[in-house]
Structure 1
Amino acid sequence: MLKRFFIICSGADSSILENCSSGEQNKYAGIGATVFFTAVMAFIAAGYALYTVFNNLFTAIFFGLIWGLLLFNLDRYIVSTLKKTGNALDEFIQATPRIILAVIIAIVIAKPLELKIFEKEINQVLLEEKNAMTLNNKAQLAEQFTPEIEVLNTQIKNLQNEITSKENEVNNLYNTYISEAEGTAGTKLLGKGPVYKEKREKHDAALADLQILKTENKAKILAAETKIAELQGDYNTQVVNTQPIINNFDGLMARINALNKLPWLPSFFIFLLFLAIETAPIFAKLISPKGVYDFKLEDEEDTVKNLMLQNKHQRAALLNTENTLNDNVYSNIENNEELYAYKSKKARELLQMQADAFYKKQKSIL
């Protein structure tokens, strides 16, 4: 049962193989098995590749099965149509388009499995890229908010410097009128005289101004700090909203790019492996010797071809004979007077009918 299935996979004519030796049947069963397992590998590779794209098992299996059947049908068709002529060069020329196609298909098949085989290394590369993208994203977002935040911080610092400067001024005025009262500076007269009162009033006025300045500047500082908090919140929101995009940066193209950053030699050998698998059906047919099946198939094709040529020749001869007979028949009746008189009569009747019809038409118009 399994042998018959693989023979069907090879595309060979079962009715001819039944009359061949067991060895000949085994040869084509082996070719069919190669075609079948190549399609299985294509199904697995395509299914995994599509799973990384759609992240849906049933979708991946469905389209992977279609891809596997497509390659199975293609391999079966090419293997079955590759004729054993006994000339290796002619057979290789026949197989050249299939070999070129095999290289393309091998790349398509090998790449998804490379992604699976080197999954851990690819994940490491993607992690590094995601970390770098996260830092770059934060830096780019910070460029949108940092200038305004720096302006607000500068304003806060200036407002605080104004308060500090005013406080220093008030402290200096305080020291001045105290020294005047103690007689250690100014007029150096002990007691609270007119000069003391003047300096005390100046200090009290400055102190009142300080209180007003503190109230106004603290309100401005609070507003600036509130604005900074809003900007920081907007920045954090932008970071949170854009981070999922970075976290999901692990699609098929991202993984292929990450794979290309790994050493090329392991990937190259995997490609060679799948190239060998993909070209196995065609080379299995090429290296197999011309056997009994090939001779019988060639004999049947030659028989049909000769029969078609004979039929074509017979139809051509029949046509020539028919033409000759027709020419002789019409030559014999060409000078027949009775036939001439009959045709003349009918021609006159036809002309009369045409003239009557033309007359009626012209009369109806008038």
Structure 2
Amino acid sequence: MLKQFFIICSGADTDILEQCSKGEQNKYAGIGATVFFTALMAFIAASYALYTVFDNLFTAIAFGFIWGLLIFNLDRYIVSTIKKTGKVIDEFIQATPRIILAVIIAVVIAKPLELKIFEKEINQVLLEQKNQLTLENKTQIAAQYSPPIEELNNNITALQNQIDTKETEVNELYDTYIAEAEGREGTKLLGKGPVYKEKREKHDALLAELQQLKAENKAKINDAESNIAKLKGDYEAEVITTQPIINSFDGLMARVNALGELPWLPSFFIFLLFLVIETSPIFAKLLSPKGAYDLKLEDQETALKTNVAQNKNQRELLLKTDYAINDRIYTDIEQEEELYTYKRKKARELMQLQADAFFKNQKNIL
């Protein structure tokens, strides 16, 4: 039962193969088994690849099954259409397009399985890439918010400097009128004289200005700090909003690119393995000698071709003979007076009917 199934997978004619030896049947059963297991590997590989895309098991299995059937049909067609002619060059030229197709199929099958085999290493590469993307994302977002925040900080510093400068002036005036009262500077007279009062009034006026400046600048500083806090909040919110996009950076293309960052030699050998599996049925047919199955198939096909050629030749001769007979018949009756008189009579009647119809039509128009 299993042997018969694998023979069907090979695309061989089961009726012809039943007339061949057991060895010939086993050869095609082996070819069919290779075709079947290649399709099975294609199903597994496609299911995994599509699972990374759709993130849904049932969808991935459904599409993977369709892909496996497609690969099975292609492989079966490739193997079944290679005919043994006994000429190596002709057979190789015949198989070249099929080998190219087999290489493409091997690449398609091998790549998803490479992604699964090197999944841990790929996850490590993706983690590093995500971290790098996170840093770059924060830098890019910060480039939008840093200039206004820096400008507001500069404004706060300038406002604070105004207060500090005014406080310095007030403190200097305070020291001046205190020194005047103590007799250490100015008039050198101890007590609170006119000069002291003048300096005290100047200090008090500047102190009032300082209090007003502090109130105004404090309000401006509070507004600036509120704007800074809002900008920082917007920055954090945008970072949080964009982070899920970076976290989901693990699709099929990202994993393929991450695989490219790993050493190429292991992936290359896995590809060679599937290339050998995919092309083995083709090379098995090319390298195997012309067997009983090939001879019987060739005999059946050439017999059919001969029969078709004979039928075509007979139809051409029949048509040619029919033309010759018709020519002789019409030549013989060409001079018969009775036929001439009959056709003349019918032609006359036809012309009369045409004349009557034309007259009737013209009369209706008038």
Q: Normalising by structure 2, report the TM-score.
A: 0.96
What does 1:219-234 align with in structure 2 at a 5 Å threshold?
219-234=219-234
Deviation larger for 326-335 or 285-294:
326-335
Matched, 1:351 2:358: no
Measure the CA separation in 1 of the matches of 2:69 and 2:351: 71
What does 1:1-366 align with in structure 2 at a 5 Å threshold?
1-366=1-366
Structure 1 residue 15: deviation in Å? 0.9
Measure the CA separation in 1 of the matches of 2:166 and 2:329: 138
**Counterpart residue identity of residue 157, structure 1:** T
Structure 1 residue 11: deviation in Å? 0.8
Measure the CA separation in 1 of the matches of 2:232 and 2:242: 15
Report the number of matched residues. Answer: 366
Measure the CA separation in 2 of the matches of 1:218 and 1:330: 124
Structure 1 residue 32: deviation in Å? 0.6
The answer for unaligned runs of 5 or more in structure 2 is none
Q: Encode CA deviations 1:324-350: one digit per residue, 9 max, x unaligned.
A: 333333333222222222222112111
Deviation larger for 271-280 or 170-179:
170-179
Over the matched positions of the two proteins, sequence identity in percent amounts to: 75
Deviation larger for 49-58 or 198-207:
198-207
Deviation larger for 166-175 or 328-337:
328-337
Aligned Cα RMSD in Å?
1.5
Structure 1 residue 175: deviation in Å? 1.8
Where 1:346 maps in the other structure, the secondary structure is: helix
Deviation larger for 236-245 or 323-332:
323-332
Q: Encode CA deviations 1:67-92: one digit per residue, 9 max, x unaligned.
A: 11111111111211211111121111
Where 2:65 maps in the other structure, the secondary structure is: helix
Measure the CA separation in 1 of the matches of 2:148 and 2:231: 8
Q: Encode CA deviations 1:51-110: one digit per residue, 9 max, x unaligned.
A: 111111122112211111111111111211211111121111110001111222222221
Q: Encode CA deviations 1:232-282: one digit per residue, 9 max, x unaligned.
A: 111111111111111111111111111112211111111111111111221
The answer for unaligned runs of 5 or more in structure 1 is none
Measure the CA separation in 1 of the matches of 2:286 and 2:11: 15
**Counterpart residue identity of residue 84, structure 2:** K
Measure the CA separation in 2 of the matches of 1:82 and 1:21: 21
Q: Encode CA deviations 1:5-61: one digit per residue, 9 max, x unaligned.
A: 011111111111111111111111111111111111111111211111111112211
Measure the CA separation in 2 of the matches of 1:235 and 1:356: 100
Where 1:185 maps in the other structure, the secondary structure is: coil
